[in-house]
């Protein structure tokens, strides 16, 4: 446990000791701010029967942030250490692969959640200046953040996997972008097929876009929760096997 | 297996896809020894060290550190080892003291103990005045000391240093060497190098590795003596060439000779003695006797390359 906390703190500090953390924070703050601005423009018009979080979700910046920020966070996790050689000094200390993976994953997840804080700030601002607080129900905000957290878990585990495969951060970033984007595009593929097809049904289980839409609307369905968690564990398990592979190569 | 063995390597083989890095290696290192692994690049030094430090598994054979198997009891072994890899990778974005505390915590030391040990090793390695400097801003010599301090921070029983003085200037090399010597009292040390004088100065025993095999294992003095047995003497003498040739041919102590002209009337004679006899007094006596003028008389010290050539020779002769 000590090794886990030591590593996790070091990883998280690592983001802010390099420029990565600040660039990411600046980038997401800008995008969230931009979508907040367009959201306010929308609200000036006629009343819309949607929660604010759903309106935010509809601005398309949501997925942009997710698909860009996650690979940038995760690319350095293992690839950087392998490239600089510190992976060797790390793995020759009495820590287990699992501790290393858990520390890196949770540090990335923590940074990812920090990146979403500006959204929370926007919601509070809105709540403060609005006359009708019903559009900003705490439950809806909670379910949105639950969705953000779960999709984040899944994408970060994909990123961990990509980063463990290679020594190059660029390659790691590209692999995780490809994995994340293809998973995201599955939702559109399902729409193209006739709904009666079994393929369409299977694909619709992976329709992240619609599932996230539900979370933003305040609907928490257990099926996507189970899906995201099990996929996260699956990819973390694969990462663990990749880390262990040096022992049977 | 006895208690006073720190490292016990038996029939160690490591194959990478396509080539064998280490083949059927066996050696032991006792507690409190400083042993040098010597060999040219690609001889299998780093591979052996990586296996000892549990970073890579062996293809076959057993490796024990302090009586523990490096594969099945890897965590326990790693607790006992301080390892500094080749090129000394460090987290360049951390400060020296912060890095050493972080490493100590990773190696399982308590919070208070980590602080204490970080201070002790900084003192030991002469890092006191850079304790708050970012590692990336340090010179190579200082970084090397940070790597060494990291290897020492958890008071390991065995310290493994892969090329600890590579890329340092002579003054820094001396400082690092001094430091390693100072460790001898309380630790077992295994260092790798391809510089012979370095191993001579620091190690109590040397293992010469070549193409994944041990060619010779002995104290530096004995290895040197082995070399002296066949040492070459170079003498520059002003005398008729034919007389010189005859003279050498008649001397029973000389195994091989070669006479070549240099400037003026001098000839350069390269002589190889039989059975380690020191030819120099004989040659001096001879020139005095004949009234020849002797301009130079030197014994060629063997470089590491010569040792490789020397120890690989019998094998090459066996193979047609």
SS3 for A188-234 is: HHHHHCCCCCHHHHHHHHCCHHHHHHHHHHCCCCHHHHHHHHHHHHH
B105, A6: Cβ pair inside 8 Å? yes
Which of B224, B282, B292, B230 is closest to B256 using CA atoms? B230
| Chain A residue with Cα closest to B53 | A92
* Between residues B110 and A195, the one the model is more confident about: B110
Chain CA centroid to CA A39, Å: 22
Predicted confidence (pLDDT) at residue A100 exceeds the cutoff of 70 = yes
Q: Would the CB atoms of A17 and B56 count as touching at under 8 Å?
A: no
Pairing of strands B34-38, B205-210: parallel
Interchain proximity B89–A85, CB inside 8 Å: yes
pLDDT over threshold 60, residue B313: no
Would the pLDDT of B315 be above 60?
A: no
- Give the closest-approach CA distance of A246 to chain B in angstroms: 7
Q: How confident is residue B316, by pLDDT bands cut at 50, 70 and 90? A: very low
Confidence tier at B318 by pLDDT (50, 70, 90)? very low
Query: First and final CA of chain B: distance in angstroms?
Result: 40
Q: Which of B221, B231, B238, B227 lies closest to B253, judged by CA?
A: B231
Q: Write the CATH number of the domain with boundaries B232-300.
A: 3.30.70.3100
Candidates B216, B196, B204; CA nearest to B301 is: B196
> Domain extents for chain B?
5-226, 232-300
> What distance in Å separates the CA atoms of residue B38 and residue B207, rounded to the nearest whole number?
6
Output the pLDDT for position B206. Answer: 85
DSSP letters, B286-302, are: HHHHHT-EEEEEEEPPP
Residue B320 reports pLDDT greater than 50: no
Q: How far apart are CA B118 and CA B120, in angstroms?
A: 6
**Residue A109 — pLDDT band, cuts 50, 70, 90?**
very high
Residues of chain B found within 8 Å of residue A2, distances taken between Cβ atoms = 105, 108
- Asked whether residue A229 carries a pLDDT value surpassing 90, the answer given is yes
Q: Which residues of A touch B (CB under 8 A)?
A: 2-3, 6-7, 10, 14, 17-18, 84-86, 88-96, 246-248
Structure tokens at A151: 């999709």
User: A148 Cβ partners below 8 Å, 6+ apart?
Assistant: A113, A116, A215
B108 to A3, A6, A92, B80: CA distances (angstroms): 7, 10, 13, 11
Q: How confident is the model at residue B3 (pLDDT cuts 50, 70, 90)?
A: low
pLDDT for B120: 92
pLDDT for residue B216 is more than 80:
no
Model confidence band, residue A161 (pLDDT cutoffs 50, 70, 90) = very high
- Label residues A121-143 b or e (16+ Cβ within 10 Å = b): ebbeebeeeeeeeebbeeebbeb
User: What rounded mean pLDDT belongs to chain A?
Assistant: 86
* Residue contact A7–B106, C-beta within 8 A: yes
Q: Where are the alpha helices (DSSP H) in chain A?
A: 2-17, 20-44, 52-58, 61-74, 76-84, 86-91, 97-115, 117-129, 138-165, 169-192, 198-205, 208-217, 222-244
Give me the phi and psi of B314, to 5 degrees please: -55, -40
- How is A155-173 classified by DSSP, letter by letter? HHHHHHHHHHH-S-HHHHH
* Closest by Cβ to A88, choosing from B75, B85, B102: B85
Contacts of A124 (CB under 8 A, 6+ apart): none
In this prediction, residues B158-183 reach a mean pLDDT of 83
Neighbours of A110 (CB within 10 A): 14
Token digits of residue B139: 């010179």
Chain B residues within 8 angstroms (CB to CB) of chain A: 50, 53-57, 75-76, 78-79, 81, 83-85, 87, 89-94, 102-103, 105-108, 150
* Probe site for chain B from A5, A22, A80, A88 (most B CB atoms < 10 A): A88
In sign, the C-alpha dihedral spanning A5, A10, A13, A19 is: negative
Tens of pLDDT, residues B57-97? 888 899 999 888 888 888 899 999 999 998 889 999 999 99
Q: How far is B255 from chain A (nearest CA, A)?
A: 50
Residues B149, B138: Cα–Cα separation, whole Å: 14
Residue identified by tokens 């609907």 is A219
In angstroms, the CA B88 to CA B148 distance is: 9
| Cα B143 from chain centroid (whole Å) | 21
Burial class (CB in 10 A: 0-12, 13-18, 19+), B116: middle
Q: What is the pLDDT of residue B306?
A: 64
Closest-CA distance, B52 to chain A, in angstroms, reads 10
**B236-276 confidence digits (pLDDT tens):** 888 888 888 888 888 887 877 888 888 878 888 888 877 66
How far apart CA B291 and CA A99 sit, in angstroms, is: 81
Q: What is the pLDDT of residue B307?
A: 64
Residues in a beta bridge with B216: B208
Residue with token string 């200390």: A93
CB A203 within 8 A of CB A186: yes
Query: Distance from CA of residue B42 to its chain's centroid?
Result: 14
The CA distance from B143 to A96, in Å, is 27
Among B85, B89, B108, select the one facing A94 at the smallest CB separation. B108
The rounded percent of chain B whose pLDDT value lies above 70 is: 90
Residue with tokens 């979403």: A116
Q: From the CA of A108, how many Å to the nearest CA of chain B?
A: 18
- Does pLDDT of B294 surpass 70? yes
Phi, psi of A115 (to 5 degrees): -60, -30
More confident residue, B201 or A31: A31
Question: HSE-up of B317 (CA within 13 Å, CB side)?
Answer: 6
Written as six digits, the tokens of B237 are 């003498």
pLDDT of residue B227: 63
Q: Is the pLDDT of residue A132 over 70?
A: no
Q: What is the mean pLDDT of residues B170-185?
A: 81
Q: Evaluate if residue A60 carries a pLDDT over 50.
A: yes
Contact indicator for B43, B210 with CB cutoff of 8 Å: yes
**CB-based contact A159:A71 (threshold 8 Å):** yes
- Of B305, B76, B56, the closest CA to residue B194 belongs to B305
Percent share of chain A, pLDDT over 70: 96
Q: Report residue B219: phi and psi, to 5°.
A: -75, 155
- CB distance A183 to A208 below 8 Å: yes
Distance from the Cα of A158 to chain B's closest Cα (Å) equals 25
Nearest to B102 among A6, A17, A91 (CB): A6
Q: What is the pLDDT of residues B104-141, one digit of tens each?
A: 999 989 999 999 999 999 988 888 899 999 999 998 88
Q: Residue B226 — pLDDT band, cuts 50, 70, 90?
A: low
Q: Which of A28-32, B181-185, B197-201, B229-233 has the lowest mean pLDDT?
A: B229-233
Query: What average pLDDT does range B17-44 have in this prediction?
Result: 85
| Minimum CA–CA partner of B93 in chain A | A17
Q: Is 70 exceeded by the pLDDT of residue B301?
A: no
Predicted local distance difference test score (pLDDT) of residue B101: 94
What number of helices (H) and strands (E) belong to chain B? Answer: 11, 14
pLDDT of A232 strictly over 80:
yes
Q: Domain B5-226 adopts which CATH fold? A: Rossmann fold (3.40.50)
Is there a contact between A94 and B53 if contact means CB atoms under 8 Å apart? no
What's the whole-number average pLDDT of chain B? 83
What's the DSSP call for residue B303? P
Q: Between A46 and A187, where is the model more confident?
A: A187
Question: Does position B197 have pLDDT exceeding 50, yes or no?
Answer: yes
């Amino acid at each position: 446990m000590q090794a886990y906390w030591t590593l996790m703190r070091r990883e998280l500090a690592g983001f802010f000791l390099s420029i990565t953390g600040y660039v990411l924070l600046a980038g997401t703050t800008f995008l969230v701010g931009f979508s907040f601005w367009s959201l306010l423009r929308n609200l000036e018009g006629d009343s819309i029967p949607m929660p604010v979080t759903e309106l935010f979700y509809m601005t398309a910046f949501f997925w942009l942030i997710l698909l860009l920020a996650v690979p940038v966070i995760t690319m350095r996790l293992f690839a950087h250490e392998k490239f600089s050689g510190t992976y060797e000094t790390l793995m020759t200390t009495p820590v287990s692969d699992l501790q290393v993976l858990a520390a890196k994953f949770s540090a990335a997840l923590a940074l990812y959640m920090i990146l979403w804080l500006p959204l929370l700030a926007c919601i509070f601002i809105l709540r403060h200046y609005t006359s009708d607080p019903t559009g900003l129900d705490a439950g809806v905000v909670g379910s949105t953040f639950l969705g953000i957290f779960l999709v984040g878990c899944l994408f970060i585990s994909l990123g961990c996997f990509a980063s463990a495969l290679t020594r190059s951060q660029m390659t790691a970033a590209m692999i995780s972008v490809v994995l994340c984007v293809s998973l995201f595009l599955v939702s559109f593929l399902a729409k193209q097929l006739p709904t009666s097809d079994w393929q369409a049904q299977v694909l619709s289980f992976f329709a992240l876009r619609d599932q996230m839409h539900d979370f933003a609307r305040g609907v928490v369905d257990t099926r996507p929760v189970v899906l995201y968690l099990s996929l996260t564990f699956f990819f973390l398990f694969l990462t663990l096997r990749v880390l262990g592979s040096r022992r049977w190569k | 297996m006895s208690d006073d063995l720190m490292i016990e390597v038996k029939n160690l083989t490591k194959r990478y896809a396509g080539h064998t890095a280490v083949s059927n290696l066996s050696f032991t290192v006792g507690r409190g020894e400083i042993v040098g692994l010597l060999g040219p690049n690609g001889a299998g030094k780093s591979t052996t060290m990586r296996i000892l430090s549990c970073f890579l598994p062996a293809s076959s054979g057993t490796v024990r550190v302090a009586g523990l198997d490096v594969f099945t009891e890897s965590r326990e072994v790693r607790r006992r080892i301080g390892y500094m890899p080749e090129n000394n990778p460090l987290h360049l974005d951390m400060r020296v003291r912060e890095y050493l505390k972080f490493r100590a915590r990773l190696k399982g030391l308590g919070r208070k103990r980590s602080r204490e040990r970080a201070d002790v090793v900084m003192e030991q390695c002469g890092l006191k005045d850079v304790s708050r400097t970012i590692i990336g801003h340090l010179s190579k010599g200082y970084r090397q000391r940070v790597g060494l301090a990291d290897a020492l921070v958890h008071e390991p029983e065995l310290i493994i240093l892969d090329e600890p003085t590579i890329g340092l200037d002579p003054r820094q090399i001396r400082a690092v060497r001094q430091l390693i010597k100072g460790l001898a009292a309380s630790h077992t040390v295994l260092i790798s190098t391809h510089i012979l004088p370095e191993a001579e100065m620091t190690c109590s025993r040397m293992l010469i590795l070549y193409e994944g095999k041990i060619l010779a294992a002995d104290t530096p003095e004995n290895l040197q003596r082995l070399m002296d047995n066949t040492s070459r003497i170079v003498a520059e003498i002003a005398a008729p060439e034919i007389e010189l040739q005859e003279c050498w041919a008649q001397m029973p102590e000389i195994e091989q000779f070669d006479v070549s002209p240099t400037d003026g009337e001098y000839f350069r004679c390269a002589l190889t003695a039989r059975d380690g006899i020191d030819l120099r007094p004989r040659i001096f006596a001879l020139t005095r006797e004949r009234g020849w003028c002797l301009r130079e008389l030197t014994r060629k010290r063997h470089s590491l390359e010569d040792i490789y050539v020397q120890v690989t020779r019998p094998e090459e002769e066996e193979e047609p």
